[in-house]
Amino acid sequence: MTALRIATRRSELATAQAGIVRLLLKQLGHEAVLLPVDTSGDLEAGDGKERWVDAIVDALRTGKADLAVHSAKDLPADDPDDLVVAAVPEREDARDVLVAADAAFLANGLPRQGARVGTSSLRRAAQLRAAVPGVDIVDLRGNVPTRLRKVASEGAADIAVLAAAGLKRLGLEPGTVVPLEADVMVPAPGQGALAIQCRTDDRQLRAVLTSIDHRASAVTVAAERALTRALNGDCNVPLGAHATMAGDIVHLTACVAAPDGSEVIRGSAESEDPVHAAHTVVADLQRDGADRILDAVRAR
């Protein structure tokens, strides 16, 4: 049997995530190997989610890879006709967490006044500023281990804001970790989920991948991506979206926040149809001025 080729970014987290899918396939009797790829986002600075998947998508289209594993939050909300998200394995914790160099930098589960909080995310910074007026946000970049090191030993910040799922998948257990619930910090659309992509016309592989698809995870991610698509959102705007599922009902919550934290617009809806839930929330957000905030951010 020819081993399936899984395209992935080279980062430690991306490799770990692709390894999770490789193991799932192996449990079904399908051998797979990882094909590390350098994307534009890995090689140079710039904007746009497409930069984090461009070379991976090329590997699929040219037949160098059979499937690709993405962090769902890095995947553009629009799917090209020739590629499809064929499976979303069971989602990890979607929440953001605060990782503090010392518990003294925290108060009641939030940064203490005067603590320096490191993040390069507009979404995270805006919601933290709304929750803790006057919080000191500092730019903190790099992969997960790098950001942890910068906080723990280099003093670049007192607290880092990270995705809970990334810490778990890397097996990292920093000393002081405080989860942020969605009423304080709405996660990024797709956070905590993996998206397995393949060629649309590869029906044999799509049938295999169906076996590792987790329905609730796939439906909730579909709701979040539909909302992102309707708002023309990407990783450079302060947009959060998080869906959960109870039975057949999708509950979707989303927010758009002014970068300075002065305004946070929230919306939520329930529906059996994830796209309907997304459009309902989008209508509420737009009614309350979300487009005004997003347009101002894009014009900067």
- Among the listed residues 42, 58, 74, 273, the single catalytic one is 74
pLDDT for 265 equals 98
| pLDDT averaged over every residue in the chain | 94
Q: Kindly state the tokens that stand for 98.
A: 């605060």
pLDDT for 42 equals 61
Q: Is the pLDDT of residue 230 over 60?
A: yes
Q: Which domains does the chain have, with CATH numbers?
A: 4-89+193-213 (3.40.190.10), 96-180 (3.40.190.10), 229-298 (3.30.160.40)
Q: H helices of 161-239, where?
A: 164-170, 203-210, 215-230
Sorting pLDDT into bands at 50, 70 and 90, what band is 175? Answer: confident
The answer for 270, left when phi > 0, alpha when psi is -120 to 50, beta otherwise, is beta
pLDDT for 2 equals 87
Determine whether 74 is an active site residue: yes
The answer to whether the beta carbons of residues 137 and 129 sit under 8 Å apart is: yes
pLDDT for 49 equals 56
Sorting pLDDT into bands at 50, 70 and 90, what band is 300? Answer: confident
Buried residues in 24-41 as b, exposed as e (16+ CB within 10 A): bbeeeebebebbebebeb
Render pLDDT for 60-100 as a digit per residue (tens, 0 to 9): 999 999 999 999 999 999 999 999 999 999 999 999 999 99
Render pLDDT for 200-209 as a digit per residue (tens, 0 to 9): 999 999 999 9
Render pLDDT for 25-63 as a digit per residue (tens, 0 to 9): 999 999 999 999 987 766 565 555 576 688 899 999 999
